[in-house]
Amino acid sequence: MINRTSIAGTVNHLLKLLPGHITVWHRGAILYATEPNPSNSLNHWPIVQAAREQHEAILISAPRQHQLCQECPRCSDCSLALELFIPFRLNQQMSGGICYQFTATAANLLQTNLNAWLEHLKDYTRHIELLIEDATKRHRELLKTQQLTYLLNLVPEGVVLLDEHANITAYNEMANLHELTSLLQPLKHHNPASELPATLSLPNSAGEIQLKGKSFYYNKRFIGALYHTQKSAPLLKEKAKPSKQTIMPSIIGNNPAIQKILDMIKQVARSDSTILLRGESGTGKELFAQAIHELSPRAHKPFVAINCAAIPEHLLESELFGYEEGSFTGAKKGGKPGKIELANHGTLFLDEVGDMPLALQAKLLRVIQEKSIERVGGSHPIPINVRLVAATHRNLEEMIGQGTFREDLFFRLSVIPIFIPPLRQRPEDIELLLNYFLRKYCISLRKPFKIFSYGSLQRLMSYSWPGNIRELENMVEYLVNIHAQDVINAEDLPLNISRSSPAEEAPPTMRTMPLAAKPGHGSRSQRSRDELIELLNRYGWDTAGKRETAAALGISLATLYRRLHKYKIKES
Ligand SMILES: Nc1ncnc2c1ncn2[C@@H]1O[C@H](COP(=O)(O)OP(=O)(O)OP(=O)(O)O)[C@@H](O)[C@H]1O
């Protein structure tokens, strides 16, 4: 990806010398601008067109009188005294450029020694051009490696590619499971590398592994080799299971609060104390719960999750506690264990615990205190050893005050409370997550790699993300699905994002969140209602359409139904 920070550093340095407006444009999109630019694409700018035709920099002094500027709708009240466009070239073609716009003060400074300044600005432009060239090259190399890894992962055997010095340059997941990367390290000491053996028999921790090799030559010169396993090669049992480290690396976040939570999780995972994860919907509570489990001594035992809000009240009890044969009409022969029993010796994740009915809250409290359960219709206690991780987006303190959540259960659950901040309080993570999901979905949906333009990133960074990371992830998946170009511009973003006004959009924090907002009151509710109807009209009012609408909004289907009810939206 192109590093905007280094471009910003160069531009800011320049602005200290010469105040003005600078726009860096690359491949039809604005890569950097010193202030938001009204136009997202400079293609139609007469000055850019002129530079493209004349293959050189264009300088316009007194733009209001200049013939090139007459087409511009703002020409008559333009306050610029000088405008300069210096193009970039990539492979002999103009790929973009820098537009410098100066008002009278800066222009006066320039006019005193115009030629020297022009050289100076050309040097700056060249510097930025090199930064872009370098970043583009590195981005291409990264893409090539990712494409190669993607391709290798389609092969059902372990595959490793070596360069002419027998250094490993690429390998697939299966190779990892066979420990091939460490097994092939000693090949580096073979000299000359062209004499790499055609078959290898190497010991890994699952036994002996046979590898076949194929050397590659170009103009009779050895340029590399490929080693692969045979179909029946035994896998390492330990590695074949998801490793303890699978979840942690996929938790993206540089925000100090998230880093602190990750450190805390590593600490608390070792004990059996109950953890209460608190945060808005979509902030990653379930991901953190899985990480806690995977870092705990229970990692090789079950992780069982149950969403208390998604299961109808009358079924929740038997889902949690299980039932004995004949305990109710329709009960299965032989009975059925509940989620708590299934999680025995492992971790039970109680999602949306704030939505648990009061009667079940009392039963759950007993499980925690007595460490045993009784199935529905059963008459004997079953001893239980589970680590409990609960989560909620609800304001439990307020619910206790209203008598809808038991205070004693709250204290039992909240032994280690962890607050996960909403995405709008972690602005530094937005670009990171956008790029992470962009790469993830381009790979999984087999689409060419894409980037966000400067304009779209600005928009996305100032959006308040009420649905948090789930909303961001769904939006990226949607864009990768429908967007064919390699640059995603601001106008390509979903309407609810491109139309939102950042200041107004920020939802209230968890502590002040009203439990039930009245429909139709206030412009926010009205806008949410309108947006919901607009999306349903777009995706359809049937279940599939509702599912897509929920995904676009970053909410669950159950929440969507609740909103339809809350806003009194009836299907026509
Ligand atoms: N830090 C993160 N890095 C990468 N992906 C994340 C991160 N946080 C959340 N996600 C992803 O966002 C989506 C929503 O996360 P998750 O289901 O854990 O949220 P939640 O807080 O449990 O939501 P809810 O309260 O609605 O159940 C998941 O696909 C998850 O993998």
- pLDDT one-digit tens code per residue, 208-238: 788 888 888 888 888 888 988 876 666 554 4
pLDDT band at 262 (very low <50, low <70, confident <90, very high): very high
List phi, psi (to 5°) of 21.
Answer: -110, 125
Neighbours of 391 (CB within 10 A): 28
Q: How far is CA 153 from CA 157, 166, 450, in A?
A: 9, 21, 21
Per-residue pLDDT, averaged over 310-324, amounts to 86
Largest CA distance in the chain: 96
- Total domains in the fold of the chain: 5
264 and 221 in one domain?
no
79 and 22 in one domain?
yes
* Residues with C-beta less than 6 Å from any ligand 1 atom: 250-253, 279, 281-287, 351, 391, 393, 469-470, 473
Query: Which amino acid residue places its CA nearest to atom 13 of ligand 1?
Result: 470
Nearest-atom index, ligand 1, CA of 473: 12
**In whole angstroms, what is the distance from residue 477 CA to residue 326 CA?**
46
In a domain, 510, yes or no: no
Domain CATH code at residue 430: 1.10.8.60
Residue 354: domain span:
248-419
- pLDDT one-digit tens code per residue, 44-78: 567 777 887 777 888 888 888 888 888 777 778 77
282 and 406 in one domain?
yes
User: What is the distance in A from the centroid of ligand 1 to the CA of 5?
Assistant: 28
User: What is the distance in A from the centroid of ligand 1 to the CA of 391?
Assistant: 12
Answer left, alpha or beta for residue 568, where phi above 0 means left and psi between -120 and 50 means alpha.
left
User: What is the distance in A from the centroid of ligand 1 to the CA of 283?
Assistant: 5
530 and 483 in one domain?
no
In a domain, 289, yes or no: yes
Answer left, alpha or beta for residue 421, where phi above 0 means left and psi between -120 and 50 means alpha.
beta
* Nearby residues of 442 by Cβ (< 8 Å), 6 or more positions away: 448, 449, 450, 480
Last residue of one domain, picked from the residues 419, 442, 468: 419
What local confidence, expressed as pLDDT, does residue 4 receive?
58
403 and 325 in one domain?
yes
451 and 527 in one domain?
no
Query: Which amino acid residue places its CA nearest to atom 28 of ligand 1?
Result: 470
115 and 14 in one domain?
yes
Q: ω before 192 within 30° of 0 (cis)?
A: yes
76 HSE (CA, 13 A, CB side)? 1
Nearest-atom index, ligand 1, CA of 289: 18
397 and 297 in one domain?
yes
**In whole angstroms, what is the distance from residue 555 CA to residue 252 CA?**
20
ipTM above 0.90, yes or no: yes
User: 230 with 201: CB under 8 angstroms?
Assistant: no
* Nearby residues of 333 by Cβ (< 8 Å), 6 or more positions away: 325
Ligand 1 pocket mutation pick from 251, 262, 287, 434 by most atoms within 8 angstroms of CB:
287
392 and 280 in one domain?
yes
How buried is residue 186: exposed, middle or buried, by Cβ count under 10 Å (0-12/13-18/19+)? Answer: exposed
- pLDDT one-digit tens code per residue, 270-311: 999 999 999 998 999 999 999 999 999 999 999 999 999 888
Query: Which amino acid residue places its CA nearest to atom 31 of ligand 1?
Result: 287
388 and 275 in one domain?
yes
